[in-house]
A and B are shown apart, each in its own frame.
Chain A
């Protein structure tokens, strides 16, 4: 396997004043691969997501898309590459209805005029609102009146609607019920079958073990190990998250893409 990864981060650094939120972080995502990003609270996972999506660009480091370096300075840049994301703090606009939120940023227009009918029909056709089997009463209700899980479903549907090549999910199961979580994991597997790259951030190692191919651990803003899910025990991952095995150097050697080179 010598394919170039779809998305690769090389030496990403990000500072907030004196705080080094990310230090020389490396990450690779291949098409059709689910990479889990785990780490304690404040490890820098959301910060890394924002680097990838252009919401909070890196100070240093290179982002490669299909092997070519790209600049992601604004959310638009990431969108046009084909990166879609669902943020931890659900990023929906309260003043718009469900359809308005689904299409925000890529509205369907006819001769420069918003085509509400087409947008509503498209939403219906794709059955997006049945993602996760969360029922949404009507497509025209304001999102403010939805439950957290329903909003989550809208946010995920929204990300999928742009037909992304990479989907980034920041703690997507936090607001979901048991049934919905199971459904969500099914959804991720379907996405993998359709050769999307998925970056999944989760504190639930059970979920991670269930769907992820690779696990990348972040600790205090640094890489602290890359694991193959099939061959790694949960204890190993936990100790890497908590810092019991702080041997980032050894793990660096076993980075999957270096091992295969």
Chain B
């Protein structure tokens, strides 16, 4: 589905050479400034800064255990940073109360690294869960339509009445993706969407991510080690080293970088 052409369109749509000094007309959806987070003596994030604009895909690269998951959990409010600010749609997440946070979360999709499917529920119930929790006033017919639409997006409409244990790892990842996308969020945070998948399914997922972004003009933060994914889905690549946003640039430029810290990520 996603071919080099569509990929090119994405990049050209964002204007080549986009960087921190991107046109100010672009709407900022996530602004992270001076973020600190540590677990005991384990300093994970130290003075992390990043800005995500509407319609932009940023892929975050980093070694295992460098704090990528911690970063996006801070963004969604699952973890509370020690210091720093995270503005999402202009609201500082660490300072929000439950209600405001829930309101904000309805606009953010979050794909867990471990999928986090509710294994006591069927696929349908898994997908219905965020719908029902966020939009209480939705009718059953609407819910059914949205569930089927989301499942068709990931090509798994036939699994609607299955339990998560009956699905393969890749299918689970796609169901989790469907659950993330069902609310048509304005921001999507993907935690390793392609890990553990065969290259073909991985490619399908990447295509899906790109397609979603085109279709709804969403902003995404993607955590990935998969160079395919980095190459195809990224407008910008952020490299997380020692708790900092060490580098932020396009894939091509970083790939040709000679920086000894950045280079190893692109050598495969």
A and B are interacting partners: no
Chain A: residues with CB nearer than 8 A to chain B? none
B residues lining the A interface (CB < 8 Å): none
